[in-house]
Amino acid sequence: MAVSRPNFEPLPVEPLPAHVTVARVGNRRWLWGVVAIAGIAIVYWLARGTSASREAPSAAARGAARSVPVVAVAARSGDLPISLSGLGSVTAFNTVTVRSRVDGQLMKVAFQEGQLVKQGDLLAEIDPRTFQAQLAQAEGQLARDQAQLHDAQTNLARYKELLAKQFISKQQYDDQASTVGQFAGAVKADQGSIAAAKVQLDYARIAAPIGGRVGLRLVDAGNMVHAADTSGIVVITQVQPISVLFTIPEDHLPAVMKALASGTHLGVEAYDRSGRTKIADGELTTADNQIDPTTGTFRLKAVFPNDDFALFPNQFVNVRLLLDVQKGATLVPTTAIQRGPNGTFVYVVKADHTVEMRPITVGVTAGDQAAIASGLAPGDLAVVDGADKLRTGTAVEVREPTKPAAPAAGA
């Protein structure tokens, strides 16, 4: 590259002596050296800029050729259950506090804490001797009154014959008939006393009024118990079947009530606190008769067979109520759905390993699956991980979804 020489206009100077000529020549040489160094620097700078401009396209080309790793899942056709989620609490189907109905000393406790009992099983015994004595006394009174009644009836028969022969007055006959009536009433009273004594004696044996699981005993053998005690002896909870009370937003009330009115059996699933592990399956039985105005929810009741005793009274559960099943829907994981200024979309991997932004219409979402109403067909590869680095036309490297690690043995 040619460098133009600067055009310096000489300044008017006075003639110098001859011995100064050497210095003037040295100054000119130094000036030409500075000009040469500046020219070399300009040439180097221009050459470097040209080289950088030549290398830039190749670096951009390498960046464009680099693939972005993503995880993609093929859309599939299947059935999507439409369910409602709510928070629930397990409630014993029946709960009974077993109390004594008579006063006496608790002689025996016949159950083990936490034991499953059937209706009618013996739970405890109260000292029966007082009630046995009362029964014997009532039976003795009955025997005496029956004998007196028999004697009175015999005399009444004789009086009837004597009255017919006019050997006695009508007044004597009527008095004897009244005596018979009095003894007949006494016999009935005695029979009632015997029945009451037997009931009291039966109450000395405390049996399970319902089947279920007994709790911790509330009184020990040897203590005096009374019919007026409020604490009782033990509490029995019926756990087979068992019920779950849960709440759902009031917006879904019409759909639920319509299904109940039509006689449709709505399935209910109970999950643990995390909402991932299913505990039991049941069926919706009824809905409450009013909406809670403070929360805008209404209560529902479901019944579970609880054959494996997985549900426990007062246990907290997550509940899913199955309302309907959408047949033949196009399903993708919800993680594939992206949202932008123009609506929802997914990144679809094409045959040339590039992606395109595909607008979609999302239908029903249930759990981690979503039904796509339009914009996606079964078999299309939708990106579920790594979409934040993508644009239309980005080259991608598709990877298989990672499977969850199997739980360790004994875990």
Q: Per residue of the chain (411 residues), what is the pLDDT tens digit?
A: 444 444 545 545 455 454 444 444 445 555 556 566 766 766 566 656 555 445 444 444 444 457 889 898 888 988 888 888 889 999 998 999 999 999 999 999 999 999 999 999 999 999 999 999 999 999 999 999 999 999 999 999 998 888 888 888 899 889 989 999 999 999 999 999 999 999 999 999 999 999 999 999 999 999 999 999 988 999 999 999 999 999 998 888 888 888 888 888 889 999 998 888 999 999 999 999 899 899 889 999 999 999 999 999 999 999 999 888 888 888 999 888 998 888 899 999 988 889 999 999 988 887 788 888 888 889 889 998 888 888 888 888 888 776 654 444 333
User: In this structure, are 108 and 222 located in the same domain?
Assistant: yes
Q: What are phi and psi of 138, to 5 degrees?
A: -65, -40
Per-residue pLDDT, 31: 58
For strands 68-74 and 396-399, give the pairing: parallel
Residues ≥6 apart with Cβ < 8 Å to 95: 235, 236, 237, 238, 313
User: In this structure, are 347 and 393 located in the same domain?
Assistant: yes
User: In this structure, are 288 and 334 located in the same domain?
Assistant: no
User: In this structure, are 118 and 144 located in the same domain?
Assistant: no
- Domain final residue pick, 327, 357, 375: 327
Kindly report the CATH number assigned to the domain that includes residue 273.
2.40.30.170
Do the domain assignments include residue 248?
Answer: yes
> The dihedral of CA 220, 222, 227, 228: what is its sign?
negative
User: In this structure, are 195 and 311 located in the same domain?
Assistant: no
Residue environment code for 188-201, b if the CB has 16+ CB neighbours within 10 A, otherwise e = eebbebbeebeebb
Contact 300, 246 (CB under 8 A): yes
Do the domain assignments include residue 407?
Answer: no
User: In this structure, are 237 and 315 located in the same domain?
Assistant: yes
Closest by alpha carbon to 85, among 195, 249, 198?
249
Per-residue pLDDT, 22: 44
User: In this structure, are 109 and 147 located in the same domain?
Assistant: no
Q: Which domain holds residue 114?
A: 100-124+211-230
- Domain final residue pick, 230, 265, 292: 230
Do the domain assignments include residue 29?
Answer: yes
The domain total for the chain is: 5
Do the domain assignments include residue 15?
Answer: no
User: In this structure, are 263 and 344 located in the same domain?
Assistant: no
Distances (CA, A) of 406 to 199, 333, 402, 409: 62, 21, 12, 9
Per-residue pLDDT, 56: 46
Contact 286, 47 (CB under 8 A): no
